[in-house]
């Protein structure tokens, strides 16, 4: 077994897009690590070229036995990304301990390690969205998924690993190859399906006076931009640390949904519905990445606008049945 890159979660949403971007560079020397189970995620493998595939359980055993081939970089996207997962022991092992094992393996061998953290570590945003190291220990995630990501960020900061590795706090990523994610799909994907079936989109009502219904805001980033940021750090081992991966521009859910309607050439029709009780105390009304640290690291490309990203996704992927 030989490869230039290892992409964990390589059959998943962001991981598949990373593998495709490597293919576009002419690189097929990719070891894909994932767990396919009984989901439709296997279909994403058809969209990429790779050297080999291995299940994450077998890969973890290879790490522990030291039998993984040395590669140029490990891009670790593999994790349970469900914000509603309640098995805390599973999340702690899968999202924290597994990441730690792989990180230590990479550092010992001088292999570039880029991993997925999450904007969920910021909790309700009351403490801001700064990716500065001084801010990291103060954060209070709202759910166990966010905390499992925060656990590793804290470990990497405490152990000084962040001087050698890169963690990316992905904000609201949307784009191709997410259909297997079920309820964790982006609202772009969900809206396209709702409009196709009913001609309208349902959004949660607001329960804060300062936000009108649908005026809750998020930092939406097209997956192609998220991949570009990720590979920037894979290509620049001289730059390390924990960074936000968003656009720095918060937009409303209404903006997002209208972009979907416009891409489908359909007049917007939005219905506001009650939010489930279990979500009300954990709902984020505002997210927006601070971008100064990323820009200071040397990433200067402009991000795709919400309207352009949604249009490309809907017209060239969803409507095309890709």
Angle at which helix 253-263 crosses helix 306-313, to 10 degrees, equals: 40
Annotation says 174 is catalytic: no
3-state secondary structure 206-273: CCCCCCCCCCCEECEEEHHHHHHHHHHHHHCCCCCEEEEECCCCCEEHHHHHHHHHHHCCCCCCEEEE
Q: How many helices (H) and strands (E) does the chain have?
A: 11, 13
Annotation says 145 is catalytic: yes
Q: Going by C-beta distance under 8 Å and a sequence separation of 6 or more, which residues neighbour residue 39?
A: 180
Biggest CA–CA distance in the chain, Å, is 58
Q: How far apart are CA 15 and CA 48, in angstroms?
A: 11
Q: Which of 43, 181, 200, 282 is catalytic?
A: 181
Q: How far is CA 282 from the centre of its chain?
A: 19
Q: Which of 50, 98, 145, 243 is catalytic?
A: 145
Residues with a catalytic annotation lie at 145, 181
């Amino acid at each position: 077994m030989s490869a230039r890159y290892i992409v964990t979660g390589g059959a998943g949403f962001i991981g598949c897009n990373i593998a495709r971007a490597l293919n576009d560079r002419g690189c097929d020397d990719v070891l894909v690590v994932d767990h396919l189970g009984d989901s439709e995620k296997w279909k994403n493998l058809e969209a990429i070229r790779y050297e080999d595939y291995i299940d994450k359980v077998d890969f973890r055993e290879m790490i522990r036995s030291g039998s993984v081939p040395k590669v140029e970089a490990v891009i670790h996207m593999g994790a349970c990304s469900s914000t509603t997962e309640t098995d805390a022991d599973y999340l702690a092992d899968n999202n924290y301990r597994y990441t730690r094992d792989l990180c230590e393996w990479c550092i010992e061998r001088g292999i570039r390690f880029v991993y997925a953290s999450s904007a969920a570590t910021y909790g309700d945003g009351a403490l801001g969205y700064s990716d500065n190291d001084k801010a990291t220990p103060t954060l209070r995630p709202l759910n166990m998924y966010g905390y499992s990501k925060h656990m590793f960020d804290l470990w990497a900061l405490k152990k000084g690993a962040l001087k050698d590795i890169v963690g990316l706090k992905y904000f609201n990523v949307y784009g191709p190859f997410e259909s297997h994610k079920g309820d964790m799909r982006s609202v772009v994907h969900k809206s396209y399906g709702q409009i196709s079936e009913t001609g309208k989109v349902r959004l949660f009502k607001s329960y804060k006076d300062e936000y009108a219904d649908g005026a809750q805001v998020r930092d939406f980033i097209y997956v192609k931009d998220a991949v570009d940021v990720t590979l920037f750090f894979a290509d620049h081992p001289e730059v390390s640390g924990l960074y936000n991966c968003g656009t720095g521009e918060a937009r409303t859910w209404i903006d997002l949904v209208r972009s979907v309607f416009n891409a489908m050439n359909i007049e917007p029709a939005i219905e506001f519905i009650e939010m489930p009780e279990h979500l009300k105390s954990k709902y984020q009304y505002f997210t927006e990445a601070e971008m100064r640290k990323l820009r200071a690291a040397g990433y200067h490309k402009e991000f795709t606008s919400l309207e352009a990203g949604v249009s490309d996704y809907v017209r060239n992927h969803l409507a095309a049945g890709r």
